[in-house]
Amino acid sequence: MTLEGEYEPSPEQWVRDQVAEYEASNGARMNTLPDHPEWPVVVITSRGAKSGKLRKNPVMRVEKDGVYAAVASKGGAPEHPTWYHNFVAHPEVDLQDRAEKHTYSVRLAEGAEREEWWERAVAVYSPYAEYQQNTDRQIPVFLLERKD
Ligand code: F42
């Protein structure tokens, strides 16, 4: 089962384009950060906290034993990405990793578990460490566990 509803593409063109290309190719193209083959991405569909519409956002692929982390870094911006609020309001999302798409339950990692996943995330994508230095907020780390 995947989420159902009206899809509202991101207002950010590079995000919109990456999602469109990723989905159109079933995850075969645009499956890394552009020009960075060493940094794979997954695409997460969430339900808008206010609109109820489906929103799609690529994030870096951080995975262990079938569990994924979604790091709400927004490039070190002072505020959380809006999808943070979607995840909190509707803690069920779809995640596409290349050709595989499934539904996941979402929770915020805390304490030692967050530390463990934060280190894993930085090991995958080192710029996260700089993003954390550039913002006063603690960057949230969501854990996604497969439901279907
Ligand atoms: N962002 C990350 O935070 N972490 C990553 O690891 C990451 C990797 C990544 C890789 C490739 C790529 O193309 C993008 C990547 N991004 C990453 C960017 C990410 O996909 C998001 O673009 C970014 O985190 C900013 O998310 P945002 O939701 O803040 O984006 C804004 C511009 C946006 O989409 N705004 C929408 C709008 O219409 O203005 C709102 C979307 C929305 O969900 N609205 C909710 C609703 O109800 O519909 C309401 C939300 C609320 O405030 O309650």
Domains and CATH numbers, the chain: 13-146 (2.30.110.10)
Whether 60 is in the pocket of ligand 1, judged by its Cβ within 6 Å, is yes
Q: Which of 57, 82, 72, 43 is nearest to 138 (CA)?
A: 72
The pairing of strands 36-47 and 100-108 is: unpaired
24 alpha carbon – ligand 1 mean position (Å): 20
Bridge partners for 142 per DSSP: 70, 108
Residue of 10, 14, 61 whose CA lies nearest to 40? 61
**Six-digit token pair at 147?**
């439901």
State which of 33, 83, 124 you would mutate to test the pocket of ligand 1, scoring each by most atoms of that ligand within 8 A of its C-beta. Answer: 83
Question: Residue 119 C-alpha to ligand 1 middle, in angstroms?
Answer: 23
This prediction has a pTM of: 0.97
pLDDT 10s digits, 73-99: 999 999 999 999 999 999 999 999 999
Q: What is the pLDDT of residue 148?
A: 83
Residue for token digits 């995000």?
A: 15
Q: How far is ligand 1, taken at its centre, from the CA of residue 86, in Å?
A: 10
pLDDT in tens, 11-34: 999 999 999 999 999 999 999 999
Nearest atom, ligand 1, residue 33 CA: 11
Q: What is the largest CA-CA distance in the chain?
A: 39
